[in-house]
Chain A
Amino acid sequence: MSLKLDYVLRETASNFRRNITLTLATVITVTISLTLLGAALLFGDAVDNATVRWKDGVEFIVFVDPEISPELEEDIRRQLVDSPEISDFTYIDKDEAYAEVQDLLGDSPELVEVITPERLPASFRVKPTDTLPERVDELAAAFRAQPGVARVVTASETIRAIEDLSSGLRQRVIIIAIVLLVAATVLILNTIRMALFSRRRDIEVMKLVGATNWFIRVPFMFEGLIQGLIGGVIAIPLIWLTNNFFSVINEDVTLELLRGFTVDPSRVWTLGFQMVGLGAVVGTVGSGIAVSRFLDT
């Protein structure tokens, strides 16, 4: 009953050679679907990173001077409270700002190290009653003139558009990726079915002389697993390419608002390995269905 590794490897290798075209088609499909899925997830992460400050109707952010006096800060606060044009605001102190940066860059400790809470400005995230871009700009300009204010950053229409677009785009790409993954599973199922068919004589003899079901099955399931794994491994560099494309966006768009449209490298790696794992699952499920359906015992 002992399943020898060299036996399984030998059988799998010969099946690969026998079925090279079908295997190729399967691997390509697995790769494309995993790349799309990985890219969609990555894109979502990048958008989240870029727009984390602009959640829940925040239209502009007033960064105060890091060395502002408490009185001046109080002035700004009072103005925000008193203004009828402002429905709500949140105060983010230095420590909270630091925590957010840590979240964003958590996977790059060398970056977090150079940043200290003291160097980060406190800020007010402001939700105006009227979100018309012109009104928001006017309000922002008013605060920009205020003493003690270092910078005022508004959420431009671009950012909003990106947010809306990205969630729709992401959903669609994920749906396509899932459909492709199902197609990949069916393809693997079919490849293994073909392999079972081309080796039916061997299988007949194996059953006759008393090979156990698992002994017969494992090489075929292993073949499906390998196809899924190869597809996933090829997807890793492709997902990296997608990530590089993000940095192109970062450099291209002059809007400083898009700073942060990036994903930490370790996140890309994690995602890559998750895709390899998913490839393995797809391969095992596809071949598992094939052997249980087409290998009657």
Chain B
Amino acid sequence: MIRMENVTKVYKGEVLALQNASCEVQRGEFVFLVGPSGSGKSTFMRLLNKEEKPDRGRVFVAGRDIGKLPSWKVPFLRRNIGCVFQDFKLLPNKTVVQNVAFALEVIGSPRSVIKTKVPAILELVGLSKKMHNYPDELSGGEQQRVSIARAFVNRPLILLADEPTGNLDPNTSLGIMTLLDRINRTGTTVVMATHDRSIVDKMRRRVVELDRGQIVRDQSRGVYE
């Protein structure tokens, strides 16, 4: 599903974010990306939805070399990749249901599809009762569920989660992990960057460790360290 071949990424000619990194992720896998801040985890993710371009090497998503993708096709690549962030990136002036519907609306989904898909996904993440609340009326965990609902409502092939539990307490984090695990079980490939040792150790999934831009460990059913 995802393949990186000898990818190097340097920011502004001096900051080395990824160095000759190669990695392959199969369809339906759940992968933790671990490593200290600045080790290249976010760059790894940003290369996958073409927010960044590699300086060297190639990136394949769903068998396609995305370096060869013309820029007008990038939006269609991104429709297959859901994104979840530490800071949720919800729109504060829209309600929960509007936030999720927005994601479908802007890719041109018909209203009838939006009407059926949005309540269904909110049911899945357990927020049916707070559909009409605004983000600032929700707890951090609830906001992250909305953000996951928005990322997953379009049923993407891949879900990228960049420290999704970074702002949450351990209990809430576990709830989010259960949700991501359920999404993974539907066949969606999940790549999650994290600093959360206890979660990685508890889940026992594949762990890819980055250090100063290099992949220093790739272990199935791994632990944080």
Contact = CB atoms under 8 A, between A and B. Distances in A.
A201 interface: yes
Interface of B: 49, 71-72, 74-80, 83, 89, 91-92, 102-103, 105-108, 150-151, 154
A113 to B, nearest CB: 57
| Chain B CB within 10 A, most for which of A4, A212, A216 | A212
A83 interface: no
A205 B106 CA distance: 10
Given A210-B78, A211-B75, A297-B74, A205 B103 contact: yes
Contacts of A210: 75-80, 107, 154
Given A204-B89, A211-B107, A216-B106, 11 more contacts: A7-B105, A201-B89, A205-B102, A205-B103, A209-B79, A210-B75, A210-B78, A213-B72, A215-B108, A297-B71, A297-B74
A204 to B, nearest CB: 7
A211 B89 contact: no
B96 to A, nearest CB: 14
B91 A208 contact: no
A210 B83 CA distance: 11
A211 B74 CA distance: 9
B150 A209 contact: yes
17 contacts: A202-B91, A205-B91, A205-B150, A208-B49, A208-B89, A209-B102, A209-B103, A209-B107, A209-B150, A210-B75, A210-B76, A210-B77, A212-B72, A215-B107, A215-B108, A297-B71, A297-B74
Interface in A191-226: 201-202, 204-213, 215-216
A1 interface: yes
A213 B78 CA distance: 12
A1 B120 CA distance: 23
